[in-house]
Structure 1
């Protein structure tokens, strides 16, 4: 939550104790819902505040650096980091797939989202030590841009769940994408668009899987962004027109000098006895 918004809420409540109690509950939920990205204090990387990396309310696992970050939700800062325990890390076999996919997705995110961040979490089967057993990943992509001096903010958030099904030799891919934009110059216009999709690819080597999954995510996200651009390109001629009052269009000037030609004017004149 931006600092001005926090100040406004505090001013409205006028009770610091009550504000701190409410904020202690609200800010962790806000940060996780918005996939807030925080820089680690040693600048070794960034940690995404998400339920997939949540160890407890204030500690979040970053799979790329294999560290656990402690965060201050209200200040939205990372206060310290520690190395992850063995119990918090996936097996070497699973890490091969996770590491390869993370590397491919980093290339994609750098090319597509300015200031974007991604992470790949093992959500099930992190102790799998070889072929023959299924396991799941979650891919999180978060990118945001705030420009209050230009009266606009925006963010992109996408979550992809990957099911590695060894028995079927397939990877099931399910995605949820969300775009939020807010323009507030001489008005208040907000966009909150969501989309879901699913796909699948063959279960191959870690490197081949990474390329295939990354291309699948790239394809669906590009397709969704293209559809958004197409729909909003025609927005003035469709949605905005539907919001207007339906009136006949004659493309002629209103004849103020001869209003008696309209039945309403004649009726009123007759009732008032002022007919010419």
Structure 2
């Protein structure tokens, strides 16, 4: 990778020889730091499920293991958490979602469903070890009752709506609350991906739902962030990155009651958003793409399809060139 920096504001005149000398001096090799930052950008912007393909090509292009290893060690953890990748835990413990909400220390991630902590190799995207979570890493029994109730409802919903999806529910604030009258906050995350590189397409769904439990007034406040990504690259390169945010609230009287209400609201908002996406795509040919085209030709008049004889190109050219006279 090379960069050429030319002084476009110089008023000096150079001979060919001196110009070549100056250009040779100003054409400099990128530093290792610059190469690392460029490599990180490519890795972080890889579509869902495609970072390993990008990494393989980058390693070949860089031809410098030290630069690549440094870029990969910084980019992969950020990518894995932002895409909320799902990894299988050894020992038949199930799967763990790699998210910032479950991040403990180092490369350790809590799986609330099993109360296990997974140790993750970010660059290889595998779970290498599992250990039981400590009491300090888990919420109190009071908060856990609410968390488990919501998790059960979310698992039902995700199994119906996202056949290859995963979800987890974490307590991110107030996990030490021991009883009624105190507020705490849960977050439910859904991650689903459909990867088919052999068919030149990949797609992903990510949604994050923050639930503030105002226990003193028995109100649940819901904030959602939804993100849909798709990449189609057969004889072309088309990417989709759609985002949506929403809010809602509901009353609750018990953990089960609140869980059912929250899951119902999430189902409603996600279904509504998907329907709006489908509607916008149905309008693409007749509305969006049509608006991109010129409505009238350069003459600013409609083309007279009923009388095209006036556009007899051969006759006009012959007349101008005097052919046939």
- C-alpha contact (below 8 Å) 1:28/1:57 kept by paired residues: no
Aligned to 1:250: 303
Describe how 1:1-276 pairs up with structure 2 within 5 A: 2=50, 3-248=52-297, 249-250=302-303, 252=305, 254-255=308-309, 258-259=312-313
- C-alpha contact (below 8 Å) 1:66/1:89 kept by paired residues: yes
User: Scaled by the length of structure 2, what TM-score is found?
Assistant: 0.78
Q: Deviations over 1:67-94 (max 9, x none)?
A: 1100000000000010001100000000
User: Scaled by the length of structure 1, what TM-score is found?
Assistant: 0.91
Query: Which of these two proteins has the greater Rg computed from alpha carbons?
Result: 2
Provide the C-alpha distance between the structure 2 equivalents of 1:82 and 1:29, rounded to a whole number of angstroms: 23
Provide the C-alpha distance between the structure 1 equivalents of 2:292 and 2:94, rounded to a whole number of angstroms: 47
Report the Cα offset of residue 6 of structure 1: 1.5
Could you tell which deviates more after superposition, 242-251 or 199-208?
A: 242-251
Provide the C-alpha distance between the structure 2 equivalents of 1:12 and 1:87, rounded to a whole number of angstroms: 46
Change (3 A) 1:251 1:130: farther
Could you tell which deviates more after superposition, 50-59 or 240-249?
A: 240-249
Report the Cα offset of residue 166 of structure 1: 1.7
- C-alpha contact (below 8 Å) 1:165/1:203 kept by paired residues: no
Q: Deviations over 1:140-164 (max 9, x none)?
A: 0000010012111000000000000
Provide the C-alpha distance between the structure 2 equivalents of 1:99 and 1:244, rounded to a whole number of angstroms: 54
